[in-house]
Amino acid sequence: MKGVVFTEFLDFVGMKFGADMVDDIVGDCDLPSGGAYTSVGTYDHTEMHALVSALAARGGAAVPILLREFGRHLCGRFQKGFPQFFEQNATLFDFLESVQDHIHVEVRKLYPDAELPSFDTHHRDEAALELNYRSCRPLAALAEGLILGAADQYGTSVSVEQKPITDDTGTFVRLAIQRCA
Ligand code: HEM
């Protein structure tokens, strides 16, 4: 997992829970990196799970809630770092559908060793978008937060539901995004 995700996560923890919490959770985990991340470095994604679990154990909230809140925060940072991806898409659903074939393709050019999930559209109509999230990393809650963060950027109010699916293509999570009236 790219260092930028870790540096943003520790910034998020510092802003939400204070600088001491950052030191505490890094101290709680036996991290191969020692918790010294650079944005262009690459680290084992299990370090993220260790850090989020440590934050949960210190009373932060349950792991999926923390991942979702972090995803929401991260999307705000992506908007600042990569405004063109938002400007190129007129609506939230267009933006979300561009993650697979455009945004993450550009991300891979920037970070050739990025470990990216896949999102294929299962269904789209005026009010709903269903994306199949496939990854060997269990980060559907992060995806949910990124979607909610993008919805904030577009000023579109949505709900997101996760549906675990197993079919002949494998096991994945369907993210059902519903526009609120
Ligand atoms: C401007 C928009 C975006 C940018 C620049 C971006 C960039 C990135 C980067 C740099 C990573 C880390 C790759 C690694 O650790 O090796 C990542 C991972 C990820 N991205 Fe995006 N992303 C964007 C939008 C989104 C959106 C809207 C979603 C959700 C629909 C999403 C879902 C994810 C997930 C879930 C991961 C974690 C890896 C995994 O699940 O396997 N991204 N993205």
Q: What is the pLDDT of residues 15-55, one digit of tens each?
A: 999 999 999 999 999 999 999 999 889 999 999 999 999 99
Report the residue among 45, 47, 99, 172 best suited for mutation to probe ligand 1: largest number of ligand atoms under 8 A from its CB: 99
CA of 71 to the centre of ligand 1 (A): 9
Ligand 1 pocket, 4 CB below 6 A?
yes
pLDDT at 35 (0 to 100): 94
Please report, to the nearest 10 degrees, the dihedral formed by the alpha carbons of residues 56, 13, 32, 44 taken in order: 80
Each residue's pLDDT tens digit, 62-106: 999 999 999 999 999 999 999 999 999 999 999 999 999 999 999
Burial class (CB in 10 A: 0-12, 13-18, 19+), 57: exposed
- Which amino acid residue places its CA nearest to atom 29 of ligand 1? 143
Task: Please determine, for residue 123, whether its predicted confidence score (pLDDT) is greater than 90.
Answer: yes
pTM higher than 0.85: yes
Task: Please determine, for residue 60, whether its predicted confidence score (pLDDT) is greater than 90.
Answer: no
pLDDT confidence tier of residue 112, bands split at 50, 70 and 90: very high
* Residue at token pair 């949910």: 144
Give the contacts of 116 (CB within 8 A, at least 6 positions apart). 104, 107, 108
pLDDT at 181 (0 to 100): 77
Cα angle at 179 between 173 and 181, to 5 degrees? 150
CA of 15 to the centre of ligand 1 (A): 21
Measured between alpha carbons, how far is 2 from 111 in angstroms, rounded to an integer?
8
- The ligand 1 atom at the shortest distance from the C-alpha of residue 136 is 41
Ligand 1 pocket, 37 CB below 6 A?
no
* Residue at token pair 């809140």: 69
- Which amino acid residue places its CA nearest to atom 9 of ligand 1? 107
CA-wise closest residue to 96 among 125, 127, 121: 121
- Which amino acid residue places its CA nearest to atom 17 of ligand 1? 116
- The ligand 1 atom at the shortest distance from the C-alpha of residue 106 is 5
**Structure tokens given for 180:** 């609120």
Residue 50 has phi, psi (to 5 degrees) of -65, -45
CA-wise closest residue to 4 among 33, 46, 37: 37
CA of 67 to the centre of ligand 1 (A): 13
For range 111-119, the mean pLDDT: 95
CA-wise closest residue to 36 among 14, 6, 74, 73: 6
Measured between alpha carbons, how far is 150 from 68 in angstroms, rounded to an integer?
12
Ligand 1 pocket, 137 CB below 6 A?
yes
